[in-house]
Amino acid sequence: MYNLQTIGRPQSKQISVESKSVFLNEKIRGQKSMKRALAVLVLTLCVGVLASAQTLTPAERERATKYLESTKQGVLDATAGLSEAQWNFKSAPDRWSVAEVTEHIAAAEDLLRGMIINKVMTAPPRPAGEDVAAIDETIITMVPDRSHKAQAPETLKPVNRFGSPQETLKHFVEARQQTLDFLNQHDDLRAHAIDGPMGKKLDAYEWILFIAAHSERHTKQINEVKADPNFPKK
C-alpha cells in the first residue's frame, strides 16, 4: 500500500521550490521595470528642463520686438525728407553717402536673416553653461559702438541694388517685417548657435538682436554724414 504521508512530502517540497523561483523571478522583473521607469522619468525631466531653457521667453521676444521696431524707426527718421543732393552727398570719395549706408542696412538685413534660417536654425546647441544674458548685452552694447570700425564684406557694399533711395527704404521696411515675423513664429531661437564675430557662439535670437544693433550702428553713420559741415542744406 502507498503511504499517503510519504507521497505528499516530496510534492510539497517541489511546489515550495517552484513558488520561491517564481517569486524571485517576479521580484527581479519588478526591479528591472522600476529601473526602466526611473530612467524614463529622469530622461523626461532632463529633456523638459533642456527644452524650457531653450524656449524663448515672452520677455525676450518683447525685447527683440521693441529693438527691431525702434531701430527701424531710427532709419526712417534719419532719412526722412532728404533731397536727392542730401541722399547722395559724400564727405570724401571713399566715404559712403546716406543712400549707400541705407542700402547697406537693407542688404545686411536680408543676408543676416537668410543666414539665421539656413545656417543657425540647423546648427547644434551652444556649449552648456554660457551666460546668454551677458552675450545678449554684449551685442546690444558693442555692435552699435562706432568707435570700433569695421570693413563691410564685398557682398554688402553698396551697388545701387534697389534702384533708388525710395526703393531701398521700401525694401528695408519689408525686410524688417519679415524679421519680425520670423521672431514671432519661432520659440526655439535659443536652441541653435553658430560662431559669431565676438568670439562667442550666437543663437538665432542673438543674431536677430544683431540685425537690430547693426541697423542702429549705421543709423549713427547716417547721422554722421548729415552732421558734416558741407552736407547740403536742402
- Is residue 102 domain-shared with residue 3, that is, in the same domain? no
- Is residue 89 domain-shared with residue 195, that is, in the same domain? yes
Tell whether the model's pLDDT for residue 45 goes beyond 60. no
Q: What is the count of structural domains for the chain?
A: 2
- Is residue 106 domain-shared with residue 14, that is, in the same domain? no
Percent of the chain with pLDDT over 90: 73
Residue 234 lies in a domain: no
- Is residue 105 domain-shared with residue 205, that is, in the same domain? yes
Residue 148: the pLDDT is 87
Q: Domain end: 18, 38, 54, which one?
A: 54
What is the sign, positive or negative, of the torsion defined by CA atoms of 192, 194, 198, 204?
Answer: negative
Q: How many CB atoms lie within 10 A of CB 18?
A: 10
Domain assignment of residue 24, given as a range:
1-54
Tell whether the model's pLDDT for residue 37 goes beyond 60. no
Residue 16: exposure state from Cβ atoms within 10 A (0-12, 13-18, ≥19): exposed
What would the grid cell of residue 64 be? 527683440
137-184 pLDDT, tens digit each: 999 999 999 998 889 999 999 999 999 999 999 999 999 999 999 999
Average pLDDT, rounded, for the chain: 85
Q: Domain end: 54, 78, 93, which one?
A: 54
Residue 217 lies in a domain: yes
- Is residue 100 domain-shared with residue 123, that is, in the same domain? yes
| CA 80/CA 85 separation, integer angstroms | 14
Which is nearest to 221 in space by CA: 54, 108, 52? Answer: 108
Residue 205 lies in a domain: yes
- Is residue 76 domain-shared with residue 160, that is, in the same domain? yes
17-30 pLDDT, tens digit each: 455 555 555 655 65
What is the sign, positive or negative, of the torsion defined by CA atoms of 178, 183, 184, 188?
Answer: positive
Residue 79 lies in a domain: yes
Percent of the chain with pLDDT over 70: 77
The three-point CA angle 167-72-215 to 5° equals: 90
What global pTM score does this model have? 0.78
